[in-house]
Structure 1
């Protein structure tokens, strides 16, 4: 993997909003693929969660509203499905804020690609687990401008590209209490018993308007502190895409360790009518999450969404034989 620029930042978790019926009785595409544990109730009392924890130290958060989500107002208008994702870093919450802010403000403030993105000072958050233990963290969320003066490259009209509000930039999550209290990835009966064999998050895809991809490349480079890896087809519709490579929270997880140089965020333009419909209905932002699993007793790669339609179609399981990519794809 010599020559690849890999950020020290990593995925923390992906947020999947469920309606009450699916939260209380998860559909088969969730229950038959994953071990799901109880999370608890968030501070403020308007939401609750369940977790799908992976041995790479990441997780999928299943979230549901108990009442009007005042403390999560930026997610309040989103329909069920993928709504956001969080990153974490090996540095402190305040050091990370300073680092990201400096990059966004570089070159006269153009580090955000003209999209009007800055980050708020870190805010305290938490929840009470079902066992009574209190989990605490800090979140650092983006401030997103919505006027042309502050964001000259913002895709407009807003009601076309952000019909439920802007969620085109990830936030950061840093633990105050021990990470293992929030993300029990070392407990094998939780993280290593997924029926589908999942080991961790390979990537998330963020879909943006093709004519604004240069602005988003600049923005994500500043947020992640790493240069983009250009894919074949960049600037040639309909395959315009770049990726930003990340680390993993648990760098010792064997299966994910072998994927170093492939884990990351892909920023791409819409490829088909389904993508166009996604942006029209949900807005610019996270479109898909890809989850890695080792293929046992097989010698070929298999990729398939967890469901044929709806929410489950945006989660893709990638099964590969052990060592398939060790010396490059065969």
Structure 2
């Protein structure tokens, strides 16, 4: 287990699936709040993307199907909205695959045991992927996708209730082969630092799981992320409890990161209200919400609000904090 309370692993990007009308004419909540750049067509030819790049090195990928999917089959049955998220690490794809696999197959990670929590999760060998940018440059990477055994003892059942459009309850990994700046041009300030909302990066990814399975998912994510969880909200897990896994970021030079250390990461929780229950019923166990952090001037309080009152934008939240926060450090 990592000695540091913050994993060396980082959030890489979040997948936001759009239907063709919204992809070709982006909704106002996106255009008014973000600088969106063209991505390109994926190597398989059946999907395309646009990107929202943040200076912390993370991004939101807006993806759309051009034809019947020839790649990314695990996303093929999903409805538009948040569908998946990726991690990256300082090590290579194959090194990461080996160390994550070792943890998933171990029952001696801590005094409670870790492994995969009985959720039947391993990872497939890293697979080469890529796309051609609009400027003609080839971007190459390795993707490491979860391998899921739905017959494992702690998988939420019935499957059709908890995974109505297929199982996507575990993040994948993305490692660059070409220079990361080709895939994620976060150093280009006109791309990453011009968001009208003031967005600087992804603060957290929230994953909703059945309350009775939260112990299993905590063990799983401990193994996948390489860090112990922080429990908030009570002695025992409950619908009001949040369990977070602190992560690093791809660009540690981003000025907000030192102040946000320990707050960036993945949060696991049970449904809290009817909206959460409806989300799981319609979309299944998995990514529920992401929070984007922003610095603001002329304000002295933290403010949180979704980008839209309903629909896809309601599951993406902007967290605005005073400029002085960045200099004062963590609270």
TM over 0.5: yes
Structure 1 match to 2:123: 119
User: What does 1:194-209 correspond to in 2, within 5 Å?
Assistant: 194-209=195-210
How far apart, in 1, do the equivalents of 2:258 and 2:138 lie?
31
Whether the 8 Å CA contact 1:210–1:268 is kept in 2: the answer is yes
Given that 2:259 and 2:329 are in contact with CA atoms closer than 8 Å, whether structure 1 keeps it comes out as no
Tell me the distance in 1 between the aligned counterparts of 2:48 and 2:130: 11
- Matching residue of 1:298: 299
Aligned to 1:182: 183
TM (normalized to structure 2)?
0.95
- Distance in 2, Cα, partners of 1:193 & 1:102: 42
Matches within 5 A, 1:1-330: 5-107=5-107, 111-147=115-151, 151-233=152-234, 235=236, 237-324=238-325, 326=328, 329=331
Matches of 2:158 and 2:283, distance apart in 1: 14
Paired with 1:234 and 1:20, the residues of 2 have a C-alpha distance of: 46
What do the CA deviations read for 1:238-289 (whole angstroms, capped 9, x no partner)?
Answer: 3022000000110010023321110010000000000000000000000000
1:56-95 residue CA offsets vs partner (Å, 9 max, x unmatched): 0000000000011121110001000000000000011111
Q: Is the 8 A contact 1:234 1:241 kept in 2?
A: no
Q: 1:259 to 1:232 in 2, by over 3 A?
A: same
Looking at structure 2, the residues matched to 115 and 8 of structure 1 have their Cα atoms a distance apart, in angstroms, of: 24
Count of residues in Structure 1 that have an aligned counterpart in Structure 2: 324
CA distance in 2, matches of 1:288, 1:308: 14
In structure 1, distance between residues paired with 2:165 and 2:330: 41
Q: Identify the range of structure 1 (247-256 vs 103-112) with the bigger mean alpha-carbon deviation.
A: 103-112
Any conservation in 1 of the 2:244–2:265 contact (CA below 8 Å)?
yes
- Larger CA deviation: 314-323 vs 114-123: 314-323
- Partners of 1:52 and 1:248 in 2: how far apart? 16
Q: Partners in 1 of 2:257 and 2:235 — Cα distance?
A: 27
Deviation at 1:110, TM superposition (A): 6.0
Q: SS state of the match for residue 60, structure 2?
A: strand
For 1:300 and 1:121, how far apart are their aligned partners in 2? 46
Other structure's SS at 1:159 match = helix
1:236–1:171 CA distance, 2 compared to 1 (3 A): closer
- The farther-off stretch of 299-308 and 320-329 is 320-329
Give the distance between the partners of 2:52 and 2:117, measured in 1 at CA: 34
Query: Does structure 1 retain, via aligned residues, the 8 Å contact 2:146–2:170?
Result: yes
CA distance in 1, matches of 2:120, 2:11: 23
Structure 1 unmatched ranges of 5 or more: none
- Partner SS, residue 26 of structure 2: coil
Q: Distance in 1 between matches of 2:252 and 2:279?
A: 33
Contact 1:41 1:49 in 2 (8 A): yes
Distance 2:82 2:330 in 1: 31
Measured against aligned partners, the alpha-carbon deviations of 1:23-49 in whole angstroms (never above 9, x if no partner) come to 011011000000000000000100000
- The runs of 5 or more residues in structure 2 that have no matched partner are none
Secondary structure at the counterpart of residue 111 of structure 1? coil
Distance 2:244 2:71 in 1: 32
The answer to whether the 8 Å contact 1:210/1:240 transfers is: no
Give 1:295 deviation, angstroms.
1.4
Contact 1:200–1:256, Cα closer than 8 Å, also in 2: no
Compute the TM-score of the two structures, normalised by the length of structure 1: 0.96
RMSD: 1.4
